[in-house]
Structure 1
Amino acid sequence: MKYWFMDRHRTCHGVQKMCRVIGASRSGYYRWKREPQSKRHKENEKILMEIRQSYRNSRKTYGSPRITEDLRAKGIKCSENRVARLMKSKGIVAKAAKKFKATTNSKHNLPVAGNLLKQDFESERPNTVWTSDITYIRTMEGWLYLAVILDLYSRQVVGWAMSDRLTSDF
């Protein structure tokens, strides 16, 4: 691994300097450079590329079992243990799924707002009837919440707010 690192950075830093800093021998580096990579190493590199692709496509949620399924679906033969070992060696860890949290509680004795519009979404004048809605937007970083207020007469957006948390003050 250290020789691979040295090989990638030899244009920026001299081999002798890197050997001194890393604590490797120059002769060891050049011996490693002469030897061809093993078939197994080349296979692992190809599998690792596919693992990274599957991991990105799953939004970093797939672990070794699902990634192994993906690879087998693509016709790549490998065991779950091999995928797990390669993922661990590169620090690829699946995000744990968060438990669903109910945000609406309909079983309460609190007063409920009346239906003042009674499904009549027409308005005679501007700024007399406004309506609002909240939309959930999934992004690569998580959920965003968009709250919009519309004037029913002009159908214009009167106001809006966006937040990464669904709280009453946003």
Structure 2
Amino acid sequence: MSARRAQIHTEHALPKVRRCALLGVARATAYYRPAPVGEQDLALMRLIDEIHLQWPFYASRRLRDELQRHGQWVSRQRVQRLMRRMGLQALYPRRRTSQPGKGHKVYPYLLRNLSIDHANQVWATDITYIPMAKGFMYLVAIMDWHSRRVLSWRVSNYCGTGALFDT
């Protein structure tokens, strides 16, 4: 679906209405601009994040109760919506987590028997987010496994959903 939406926003001689009709996409999606995150939601998201870091096994009901202990009276549906927006899920044992799906290719661990004995042999990358006053900053680092040295890093306020936060 997103590939069809991307075709709507390209420069073309056909009008946008006609492109939507040909691609079978509603016209409303062509003109939709996501609303910016409000101050109250950002404050609530920050508090949810702090609670989730402390108790990652809390789901929306217990998070709502914990928010009420902090003086924030919100509905469970709002907590669920914000958790979805933040990409948070409660951590608990799920069924058959170690069972691969049918037809799923199992990729080998290429570093299992490798002796890492010099620099620039193996690199690793990691991404994390840093809570700020208005949203989050994202930090990406590339490290050398042998020397544990940070080779490169970048900080960005782009969240990947198309929204930029003011910092």
Whether TM exceeds 0.5 here: the answer is: no
Higher relative contact order (CA 8 A, sep 6+): 2
Higher Rg? 1
